[in-house]
Amino acid sequence: MITLERFSMGIGDRFGQEGEAQLAAFVRALAAGVEIIPVWNKSNREHTLIGTDPASVRAEADAATGALGWKRPYRVDADHIGLKTVDRFLAASDFFTIDVADFIGQPVSEDAVRAFVARHQHLLGGPFGLTSQMLERAARKYLLAVQEAAQIYRYLEKTKGTGQFIAEVSMDETDTPQTPPELLVILAALAEAGVQAQTIAPKFSGRFNKGVDYVGDLAQFEREFADDLAVVAFAVREFGLPANLKLSIHSGSDKFSLYPIVHRQLRRTGAGVHVKTAGTTWLEEVAGLARAGGEALRLAKEMYAAMYARREELAQPYRTVIEIDPKQLPDPATVNHWTSDQFVAALRHDPKNPRFNPHFRQLVHVGFKVAAERGREFRDALTAHRALIAEWVTDNLYRNHIAPLFLGANGV
């Protein structure tokens, strides 16, 4: 049976050029005493926008691990798949993020709700204060999503083989966070449906915007995260879910204010975690081009001008995970006169730098389609400045993400 180790991190690489640079951060972590499993992830949406295919992600992961002599496990994640999109990922992937957020709150039969509530009366009260009203409300809201997850899971069992894949259930890309009691009901329903999920990705309170820090009440997040860890541990004991079941934090890159909290709670409980950091590597590529100057800086400026002109189109697929104020975006004519230092300062996530612009960064984060449309010109620029970009990719993943999350060290 394929199992996911205690600590793992999703590392998206939009253009498939940074696999070795990303893995170098995990090699550094291993040397520092902590094993973190790299999981290269890419969604169908990203493949469609860029024009790649799942086989390219497997090829990148295999090549990177071979080049660096990585002997520990590594995975390839079919990110945010559903029944309509899973088939193209079957051959290349051994990790499947089953995204059922669109089914949350959709109508489910009242008979199914009543029957589920009747079967789960033993959950009332208990350590999480679940009431009969909360149980019924959660069943009505999440049962259809669980049924969809179960359908996809059974299809994966049929096509990949039982125990031959890692399943994550994702409910994060929705408007309303799940409370710990709701998570309890969700896990009970998944277990009853036979979904042996190894990670669960709830939507937490606060804002997890792409590529920038958490926005919300830190004390509330810590209470909620601690309670969710307790729910997961309870579900493993009581529902027969996999012993390695753990929380997954989506849009987890650059959440600098949360990393000390997550680290503290993991140490307290001995729990594991999966953290997805997809877009932060692409942002380091753009920053690296800007730092290189000359034609590379010109290319970065031209791409931003196109992103600015198409900001509504580019932002639409990510509406639940970005907050961009158009009034805070610099005009392309202004950016065209920026130096390398000015562009890099606005883009790279340094909260201490007064020139950092989170609105600029979020737009570039979701604007990777523009780079894909530049085709060979963009890829050639990455190759020409490989050493600089690779150094920044590795440093960003290790110093800003891995070290504070898993080692308790200070990042940015």
> In 3D, which of 105, 87, 85, 84 has the Cα closest to residue 44?
85
Per residue in 168-191, pLDDT (tens digit) is 999 998 889 999 999 999 999 999
| CATH placement of domain 7-280+396-407 | 3.20.20.70
User: Is 286 in contact with 346 (CB distance < 8 Å)?
Assistant: no
Q: What is the pLDDT of residue 269?
A: 98
pTM: 0.96
User: Domain extents for the chain?
Assistant: 7-280+396-407, 282-392
| Distance from C-alpha of 99 to C-alpha of 85, rounded to nearest angstrom | 11
**Once rounded to an integer, what is the mean pLDDT over residues 218-226?**
98
CA 346 to chain centre: 23
| Distance from C-alpha of 300 to C-alpha of 116, rounded to nearest angstrom | 54
Confidence band (pLDDT; 50, 70, 90) for 411? low
Is residue 292 scored above 90 in pLDDT?
Answer: yes
Taking every pair of Cα atoms in the chain, the longest distance, rounded to a whole number of angstroms, is: 68
**Once rounded to an integer, what is the mean pLDDT over residues 357-364?**
98
| Distance from C-alpha of 85 to C-alpha of 140, rounded to nearest angstrom | 26
Is residue 412 scored above 80 in pLDDT?
Answer: no
Q: What is the pLDDT of residue 25?
A: 98
Q: Is 133 helix (H, G, I), strand (E, B) or coil?
A: helix
User: Is 389 in contact with 289 (CB distance < 8 Å)?
Assistant: yes
| Distance from C-alpha of 272 to C-alpha of 258, rounded to nearest angstrom | 16
Q: How many CA atoms does the CB half-sphere of 42 hold within 13 Å?
A: 29
Per residue in 307-327, pLDDT (tens digit) is 999 999 999 999 888 999 999
Per residue in 52-100, pLDDT (tens digit) is 999 999 999 999 999 999 999 999 999 999 999 999 999 999 999 999 9
Contacts of 405 (CB under 8 A, 6+ apart): 259, 262, 263, 273, 275
> In 3D, which of 6, 43, 56 has the Cα closest to residue 248?
6
> In 3D, which of 167, 227, 154, 173 has the Cα closest to residue 200?
167
Q: What's at 251, amino acid-wise?
A: S
Is residue 409 scored above 60 in pLDDT?
Answer: yes
* Structure letter (DSSP) for residue 124: S
